[in-house]
Structure 1
Amino acid sequence: MSTAAPTQWKTLPAPDSPAAWIERAAEVAAILATDAAARDKAGATPYTEVQLLKDSGLVTLLGPAEHGGGGQDWTTAYRVIREVAKADGSIGQLLGYHYLWNWAARLVGTREQWEHVEAEAVRHTWFFGGAVNPRDSDVVVTEDGDDLVFTGAKTFSTGSRVSDVTVLEGVLEGTDRHIFAIVPSDSPGLTFHDDWDNIGQRLTESGGVTLDGVRTPWASAAGYVDKEFRPRVYNTLNVPTIQLVFISFYLGIAAGALETAATYTRTRTRSWLHGGYDKAVDEPYVIDTYGDLTAKLWAVEALADAVAAEGQKLHDAPDEVTEQARGEFEVRVAAAKARATDAALEVTSRIFEVTGARATASAEGLDRFWRNVRTHTLHDPVAYKRREVGRHVLTGELPEPTWYS
């Protein structure tokens, strides 16, 4: 991977508008694209890729401007994730999860906590990982004086092996209260396992983690004051926010697949010998397929952008978020998630119809787009997202806030 561009960024001013940040993300994507297929095949831990995100400034996009961060909002963050994912779905996911876990302090914590976390995150260019797989309830948190001690394991811990800090989650012993805390990723007792070997999103470092007595002060327990949690509706926005992260890199992967396939079709695909056309780009079925897939992708992108803008209004006034507003937003996110899943799967599988048999060669790496989408869209069943929408339409029911809704 070239390092010339990151060196150049050090002499340039930071982007100062949403358009400029998206352009910076496109520059990052151009670097990632040069060897994306080879890196996917190698499956090496993406230390260099994460450093690229740091050098470009993308990791501090959501950070407060007064501390040197980008000062941008979620509508820009989603577009940046989409742009990076065009070149590399794994790195798009890592960046998106980083944004969510960075923002988690603001979602769950007290003002004093999130102001401290966000200032430190910008100052030290922290990259965030998370050991917060909600289906694993086997991390127990115990008290030891002024400390909390996390013990147990999580099956998935996306990004943690390449992170500076990790968000932990566990249940306080003898209660049903969940506790989130941010700890250094090199904390004693925190062991990340090199066991992520799935067909897609191979560079996300989503393997398991063991917590063997990981200690952190009680004061770091997000949202707790005097050992009591102070709930608010805004706390529950973690699910629709991260689902929009998912949508963003699904759409980015799909867009990258279309762009890569179109270049291949223009330059290498041969017309069918019995079709009567000299060039593949003149084949009616090829033209129709690209038109169909592009129209579907553009439609979902427009929906995703609209829903992101609706969500930003909630982020802008966190203390005013009502259960009704939160529920209606989740329904809209669920609809976008369902359509993004279908569109991304269709685009990434059908590109082979218009690139040809030679495009299936391993060296081309076109299969990585489908493998990446197929792997992550299994995160939670899309049928349950459609159910949220359908029940709301028929009965007015709003989704109950859970780890997945």
Structure 2
Amino acid sequence: MASTPALTNVVPNAATDPAIYDSHHQKFTSEGLPTSTEGWLERARQVSEILAADATARDIENKSPRAEVALLKSAGLLKVLGPKAYGGGGQTWDVAYKVIREVAKGDGSIGMLLGYHLLWSTTANLVGNNEQKDRFQKLIIENNYFVGGAVNVRDNDTKITDHGDYLTFDGFKNFNTGGVVSDLTVLEGVYSGTENHIFALVPTVQEGIQFAHNWNNVGLRLTESGSVKISEVKVPWADALGWDPKTRSPDPAILSIPYGSLILPTIQLVFSNFYLGIALGALAFASKYTTTTTRAWPFGGDNKNAATEEFYILERYGNFFAHLRAAEALADRVGQELANVYAKHSETRSVTARERGDLAEWVASVKVVTTDTALRVTAGVFEVTGSRATSRKVGLDRFWRDVRTHTLHDPVAYKNKELGEYLLLNKIPEPSWYT
């Protein structure tokens, strides 16, 4: 393995104080979990509004988001996908995507954290056996745990070594979203001497997990997506998701490529939904600014009394609105497609390569559309708000910075290429870490 940076004398970021949301914690706790789809969406809207109120200030301060994660916990949003038997919301992924989108409207960083948590907290559902699936869902939902993940596959693979009753994970990851504020962390690596990968959930607070506290990027500043060093983290064989602890081998019935690899289109659609949420948040923010602050241009020859009478402003807003509506309709359609695949195959794990491939290209379509639209809208709103809207204290720039940062995660050009092959050659993509 290549040498890894030393993480000595690392100073954690200052953290936000959960007490700032005490009144909201009390309200959500007294109300309990929502009991309907609309109830979950309304709860997400309430959280989004709370976060939007001071999102600009929190973005500038760049503190570790302990208060924000505590708010997600008290609101119950971490449990939206959890089984009702363990105290979860019992909702499906199509609803979860809308919840992520709503939260991202108010704060893109927290929408992203919620999305990653919902993916990582359900990892055992996809790549674990039935006992592991139930055990980890019970653990996560009953304790209201927030789950992060150290699974950046572009880095050297984490090395997994057998020590008899347990395994150890060793490695370094440049990116590790939400880990600093998580209760559990998903680790992934390659079992020594093989090409086989193993996923495992471990407690975050332990000596073998050292965070660099070095996330200070242009956007998504409250996601704690910095690097982490993993040193001799012990995992019982019974916790190696989808593996038989007696034979030390993956269970082919559990880790089948078409079904187990659904984790990839699932997370890709998480990305698209928080891109979309951020863009919708930008449009709402800019609209309020334009109607209250932007001035009409006095040197056009056809002078107007108000910015909302300016042709170019009305035209741009109308165009942004139309494209976001179309993107939202597509995202909803594909969210339902994905939920249908899970509903049909979650018990038998019998999804075919063709079904998985068709779904992946629906997801790719959403990725292309939301990337293009979100970048255009979050940059374009400055044209209809005016030069004063570029002030740091206004905070309109955070929407573009957030979208620009994460849309570099994996090149959308490859999604366009995949879709071209799908259309022209009837070719479905081979499952990969990004498809």
Which TM-score applies when normalising by structure 1? 0.99
Structure-2 residue corresponding to 1:69: 88
Give the distance between the partners of 1:375 and 1:26, measured in 2 at CA. Answer: 24
Q: Which string of whole-angstrom CA distances, capped at 9 and with x for unpartnered residues, describes residues 272-311 of structure 1? A: 0124110101111101000000100110110011011111
Structure-2 residue corresponding to 1:250: 275
Measure how far apart 1:339 and its partner are.
Answer: 0.5
Structure-2 residue corresponding to 1:238: 263
Give the distance between the partners of 1:2 and 1:229, measured in 2 at CA. Answer: 44
Give the distance between the partners of 1:360 and 1:119, measured in 2 at CA. Answer: 47
Measure how far apart 1:165 and its partner are.
Answer: 0.1
Is 1:279 paired with 2:306?
A: yes
Structure-2 residue corresponding to 1:100: 119
Structure-2 residue corresponding to 1:191: 210
User: Match of 2:96, as an amino acid?
Assistant: A
Structure-2 residue corresponding to 1:229: 250
User: Match of 2:273, as an amino acid?
Assistant: S
SS in 2 for 1:50: helix
Measure how far apart 1:103 and its partner are.
Answer: 1.1
Give the distance between the partners of 1:56 and 1:13, measured in 2 at CA. Answer: 8
Structure-2 residue corresponding to 1:144: 163
Give the distance between the partners of 1:269 and 1:293, measured in 2 at CA. Answer: 18
Q: Which string of whole-angstrom CA distances, capped at 9 and with x for unpartnered residues, describes residues 68-106 of structure 1? A: 101101001000000000011000000000000011110
Structure-1 residue corresponding to 2:405: 375
Q: Which string of whole-angstrom CA distances, capped at 9 and with x for unpartnered residues, describes residues 331-385 of structure 1? A: 1100110010000000000000000001001100110000000000000000000
Match of 1:161 among 153, 163, 180: 180
Give the distance between the partners of 2:250 and 2:416, measured in 1 at CA. Answer: 33
Is 1:202 paired with 2:221?
A: yes
Is 1:20 paired with 2:39?
A: yes
Is 1:360 paired with 2:390?
A: yes
Measure how far apart 1:17 and its partner are.
Answer: 1.0
Structure-1 residue corresponding to 2:102: 83
Among all aligned residue pairs of Structure 1 and Structure 2, give the percentage whose two residues are the same amino acid. Answer: 50
Structure-1 residue corresponding to 2:341: 314
Contact kept? 1:137, 1:171, Cα under 8 Å: no
User: Match of 2:427, as an amino acid?
Assistant: E
Give the distance between the partners of 1:10 and 1:218, measured in 2 at CA. Answer: 37
Structure-1 residue corresponding to 2:147: 128
Give the distance between the partners of 1:387 and 1:143, measured in 2 at CA. Answer: 40
Structure-2 residue corresponding to 1:389: 419
User: Match of 2:250, as an amino acid?
Assistant: F
Give the distance between the partners of 2:340 and 2:98, measured in 1 at CA. Answer: 17
SS in 1 for 2:161: strand
Q: Which string of whole-angstrom CA distances, capped at 9 and with x for unpartnered residues, describes residues 204-254 of structure 1? A: 100011011110101100111132112222101011000100001000000
Give the distance between the partners of 2:336 and 2:351, measured in 1 at CA. Answer: 15
Which TM-score applies when normalising by structure 2? 0.92
Give the distance between the partners of 1:176 and 1:374, measured in 2 at CA. Answer: 34
Contact kept? 1:137, 1:170, Cα under 8 Å: no
Contact kept? 1:61, 1:69, Cα under 8 Å: yes
Measure how far apart 1:174 and its partner are.
Answer: 1.1
Give the distance between the partners of 1:337 and 1:152, measured in 2 at CA. Answer: 30
Structure-2 residue corresponding to 1:302: 329
SS in 1 for 2:193: coil
